[in-house]
Amino acid sequence: MTYRAIAIDGPSGAGKSTLAKRLAKELGFLYVDTGAIYRTVGLAALRQGVAPSDPAGVLPLLPALVITTAYAPDGLQHMYLNGEDVTQAIREHRVSDAASQVSAIPGVRAYLLEMQRRFARENDVIMDGRDIGTVVLPGAALKIYLTARPEARARRRHKELLERGQQTEYEAVLQDMLDRDYRDSHRAVAPLRQAEGAVLVDTTELDLDESFLALINLAKERLGL
Ligand code: DC
C-alpha cells in the first residue's frame, strides 16, 4: 500500500501547526510535527548541561536518547523523552532556542531523518517543519510553503503568549522571530527554503479560516480527494 503525504514548510508563526492539525483531522491523515522532535533533542541537551550549539556535546547524547511519539484521541502528538511525557516542557522559550541550535548540526538532522520518513511509510501524513518538502519527503503529493510577513507572525505569537498569561513585549517577540528565521534559513544543512514544486501560501492577509480553505482546496485538487 502506498501512502499519501502533504509537506508543509515555513518560518515559525505562519500557522503551520494549527493548520496542519486541522487539515489532518479533516482528511483523516496523521499529523507529524517535526519541530517537536528537534525540540525534544534540544531539551535533552539542556537537561544534560550541554551547549545545544556544540556538536561535540550533542552528538554523543543521541544514541542514548529514546524519543517516541504517541497520539491522543484528539490527534495531539505527545512527545516522550526516555519515557517521560515532555509535550509541555518542549514549548518553553529556552527550548525553542535550543531546538533551533541543535537543528543546525548536520549529524542531528541525519539522525532524525529516518524517524521522520518512517511515519510517512506507514501512514497518510501531513508533516510540518522546515525541510519536509526539500529533504524529508521531496516526493510528497502536495508541498506547501506557508509564510507571512514577520510582523504578522510576531503579532500572532505575541497574542498567543499573552493569552497563556506570559507577559512579553511585542518587540522582543519580533526580534526573537527574526533571529530564529535567520538561523533556520542560513544554516549550511537543509536551510529553510521553498521546495521545488511547492505552492506558496502567504497568510499575512488571511485569517485562520481563510488560510484553512486555501489549504484544503489545494489538498483536494492535488490529491484528488
Ligand atoms: O516548528 P518549531 O518552531 O517547533 O521548530 C523548532 C526548531 O526546530 C526550529 O527553530 C527549526 C527546527 N526545525 C528544523 O530545523 N527542521 C524541521 N523539520 C523542523 C524544525
Ligand 1 pocket mutation, candidates 46, 130, 145, criterion most atoms within 8 A of CB? 130
Q: What CATH number was assigned to the domain covering residues 5-223?
A: 3.40.50.300
Name the residue ranges covered by the structural domains of the chain: 5-223
Q: What residues does ligand 1 touch, defined as CB less than 6 Å away?
A: 12, 34-35, 38-39, 99-100, 103, 129-132, 180, 184
Could you count the other beta carbons within 10 Å of the beta carbon of residue 80? 15
The helix or strand, by DSSP H or E, that contains position 13, with its residue range, turns out to be none
Question: Is residue 108 a contact partner of residue 58, using CB atoms and an 8 Å limit?
Answer: yes
Q: Is the pTM of this model over 0.85?
A: yes
Residue type, 35: G
Q: How does DSSP assign 176-196, residue by residue?
A: HHHHHHHHHHHSSSS-S-PPT
For the segment 202-214, what is each residue's pLDDT rounded down to a tens digit? 999 999 999 999 9
Residues linked to residue 144 through DSSP beta bridges, in sequence order: 8, 199
If DSSP codes are grouped into helix, strand and coil, which group holds residue 54? coil
Q: Which atom of ligand 1 is nearest to the CA of 131?
A: 18
Please answer whether residues 201 and 217 qualify as being in contact, where contact means their C-beta atoms are separated by less than 8 angstroms: no
Q: Check if the beta carbon of residue 19 is closer than 8 Å to that of residue 146.
A: yes
**pLDDT tens column, 118-171:** 999 999 999 999 999 999 999 999 999 999 999 999 999 999 889 988 889 999
> Which atom in ligand 1 lies closest to the alpha carbon of residue 39?
6
Count of C-beta atoms within a 10 Å radius of residue 174: 18
Ligand 1 centroid to Cα of residue 74, in Å, is 23
Q: pLDDT value at position 187?
A: 87
Query: Rounded mean pLDDT of 191-196?
Result: 94
Percent of the chain with pLDDT over 70: 100
Report the chain's terminal Cα–Cα distance, integer Å: 17
